[in-house]
Amino acid sequence: MKRPALLTVLAVAHLLMGLLTLSVVPYLFFLARSPGMQVGKDAAETVHFLRLGAWAMAACVPPLFAVAWGLWRARRWAWGLALLGNVLWLLALLSDMFDGQVDRDNLAVAVPFAVLLVFLLLPTVRRFVFRKTAALPGNMPALQTDKA
């Protein structure tokens, strides 16, 4: 059974999200140390939250890479972790809407997570990930040779 194209898209998308997140981390640390951020009455708080954001983003990188690898290999745990991660990101980005405020920037950032969530829940992807037999060469046990 061939891997569905949507599963490949999901794996590549999570890999790209991991790479994008990884690339932002040093920028946030650099920004926290820049002279422009060190002045002002709220400078200490701003620097603190920039560093906190950098560490929070750095903590998201290993799970994103693990999900990308797991989806590439069609692992059930990766599908579940991707589902959980996308739901949590959507809730975090859209939490302002529960208070009656609509932030267009958050809506724009939430769209890719919503698309990935829809892709994860499509029957083609679920059927392949939750199939009963190993379908990928990397999932199959080594072939045994007949000694006769």
Let me know if residue 65 belongs to a domain.
yes
Instruction: Pull the structure tokens for residue 37.
Output: 């951020």
pLDDT recorded at residue 139:
53
8 Å CB contact between 67 and 83: no
Stretch 14-31: mean pLDDT? 94
Stretch 79-98: mean pLDDT? 90
Q: What is the rounded CA–CA span in Å between residue 74 and residue 79?
A: 8
Stretch 136-147: mean pLDDT? 50
Q: Is the pLDDT of residue 68 over 60?
A: yes
Let me know if residue 107 belongs to a domain.
yes
Q: What percent of the chain has pLDDT over 70?
A: 89
Let me know if residue 10 belongs to a domain.
yes
Question: Would you tell me how many other CB atoms lie within 10 Å of the CB of residue 127?
Answer: 11
pTM, entire model: 0.79
Let me know if residue 98 belongs to a domain.
yes
Let me know if residue 89 belongs to a domain.
yes
Enumerate residues 6+ apart whose C-beta is below 8 A from 51: 28, 29, 32
Q: Is the pLDDT of residue 65 over 70?
A: yes
Which residue bears the tokens 């560093």? 51
Q: What is the rounded CA–CA span in Å between residue 97 and residue 21?
A: 25
Q: Is the pLDDT of residue 36 over 50?
A: yes
Stretch 99-105: mean pLDDT? 81
Q: What is the rounded CA–CA span in Å between residue 13 and residue 9?
A: 6
Stretch 62-88: mean pLDDT? 94
Let me know if residue 147 belongs to a domain.
no
